[in-house]
Amino acid sequence: MIKLYNTKDLTVEEFKPIKEGHVSMYVCGPTVYNYAHIGNARPMVVFDVLKRLFEAEGYKVTYVSNFTDVDDKIINKAIEEGVNEEVIAQRYIDAYQEVRTMLNTELPDITPRVTQTMDGIIAFIADLVKSGSAYVAENGDVYFSVDSDDKYGEISHQKLDYLEAGARIDVNEGKKNPYDFALWKKTDKGIQWDSPWGKGRPGWHTECVVMINQNLGDMIDIHGGGADLRFPHHENECAQQEALHHNTLANYWMHNAMINIDGQKMSKSLGNTMWAKDVIEKLGTNLTRWLMSSVHYRKELNFSEETVETARKELDKVLNPMKQAEIKAALAGITLTDAYDEESYRAFLDQLDDDMNTPNAYTVIFDTVKKLNQATRSREVEWETVGKLVNSVEKMLGVLGIVVERPVVTEEDREVFAKWNEAKAAKDFDQADVYRRALTEKGLL
């Protein structure tokens, strides 16, 4: 039984899919005006692990994550470089997909773009206006009326009276309420489309709702994203869906916490932005992912030399015993079993089933590796047990998206190993040292 923390209800709840055996999941993707920083990489990893967990538990997952390729920042960069917006958007979409690949994520099944969804967005806004939940201002902009939704605040858990205008909320005289948000912006600058309200482009919050409705239906299982999206973005998505479809868009709203750098919030003003590609190239895929999952997804993750080094030591404690066990078996001419230790693997999944408790799942991995160490150090090694333990750890790491590279041991290596043992038995220690160095140089001892 998988349990997930639902931001909407502020509780950990048993997951019950809309369709038996199937999970529909939408995770807000980037606005593509710049390269992905390490904070953007966290939801990539968090929801990739969640997808892998569902698959490990036998579910089929349809995973959708969008690209917002219409935005003032994209337009401004296009003007600055003297190119059209599509060139800018495609550059950063390609870079974002490269980071996903570098992180060994299972790519989303569908990656819709705002520019390819425009007819549906315009029709959706028209329906909101017709329903009375939206209105056309004198300047031609279209706004959603938050007063029309008596449930407004159910995602962010803030009452309208106490909300402060946050990022990407426009406060102007054209609104009936300062917290009303733009559905359509009339403009003659940059990329634009014809609409019943004149040439313009859509507001951010409408785009995701329409892409969800078109690709997954009007009610989905899971809507995910960073904690910074709870308000206003996810709140405003939910409000529009309530207005037209009378539901909260998703049964489970999930949010990962932010990443700090050396204990400080990552920001341009502090000059501590870390680009995801640079971090992955420096640390490697496995270490980056291990560090990302070392802290529960709802807790802030700190990137520092200390946390990176701790993660490195932990991962080495897991991968090295597996490698040495396989080398030892291969040198001895033993073929390890394809079976795995079901009890250990089940214990691992049980921890992840509890709201993706990766720290507790790590504990199961360490316990299994401890058993592996004991098994390989026994005077009489039970190779079937060793094989099962190696395979179970590999399966656990697979759910975490960490790849185990199998060591390569050749027939020549086995011959050198045999000669080393013969030289030791004959007390020819000089020759034994020669064979030992040859094996050590190949990482086999």
**Per-residue model confidence as pLDDT tens digits over 195-210:** 999 999 999 999 999 9
Distance from C-alpha of 238 to C-alpha of 312, rounded to nearest angstrom: 41
Distance from C-alpha of 385 to C-alpha of 390, rounded to nearest angstrom: 9
> In 3-state terms, what secondary structure has residue 255?
strand
The pLDDT confidence band at residue 341, using thresholds 50, 70 and 90, is very high
pLDDT at residue 7, rounded to an integer: 97
Residue 100 in tokens: 């996903």
Residue type, 143: Y
Element (H, E) at 423: helix 411-425
The pLDDT confidence band at residue 301, using thresholds 50, 70 and 90, is very high
For the cut 90, the answer to whether the pLDDT of residue 321 exceeds it is yes
Predicted structure pTM score:
0.93
Distance from C-alpha of 289 to C-alpha of 45, rounded to nearest angstrom: 7
Greater pLDDT, 428 or 236: 236
pLDDT at residue 173, rounded to an integer: 62
Least confident of 21-25, 57-61, 151-155, 248-252: 151-155
DSSP state, residue 233 = I
Q: Per residue in 203-227, is it b (16+ CB within 10 Å) or e — as a string?
A: bbbbbbbbbbbbbbeebbbbbbbbb
For the cut 90, the answer to whether the pLDDT of residue 421 exceeds it is no
CA distances, 95 to each of 39, 277, 313 (Å):
15, 9, 30
pLDDT at residue 174, rounded to an integer: 78
Among the CATH numbers 3.40.190.10, 3.40.630.30, 3.30.470.20, 1.20.120.640, which is that of 306-399? 1.20.120.640
pLDDT at residue 267, rounded to an integer: 82
| Burial tier of 268 (Cβ tally within 10 Å: 0-12, 13-18, 19+) | exposed
Distance from C-alpha of 136 to C-alpha of 122, rounded to nearest angstrom: 13
Distance from C-alpha of 423 to C-alpha of 416, rounded to nearest angstrom: 10
pLDDT tens, 75-92?
A: 999 999 999 999 999 999
| Burial tier of 442 (Cβ tally within 10 Å: 0-12, 13-18, 19+) | middle
pLDDT tens, 37-78?
A: 999 999 999 999 999 999 999 999 999 999 999 999 999 999
Nearest to 348 by CA among 381, 404, 393: 393
Least confident of 90-94, 143-147, 329-333: 329-333
The pLDDT confidence band at residue 375, using thresholds 50, 70 and 90, is very high
Fold of 18-128+202-286: Rossmann fold (3.40.50)
For the cut 60, the answer to whether the pLDDT of residue 163 exceeds it is no
Q: Are 14 and 52 in contact (CB under 8 A)?
A: no
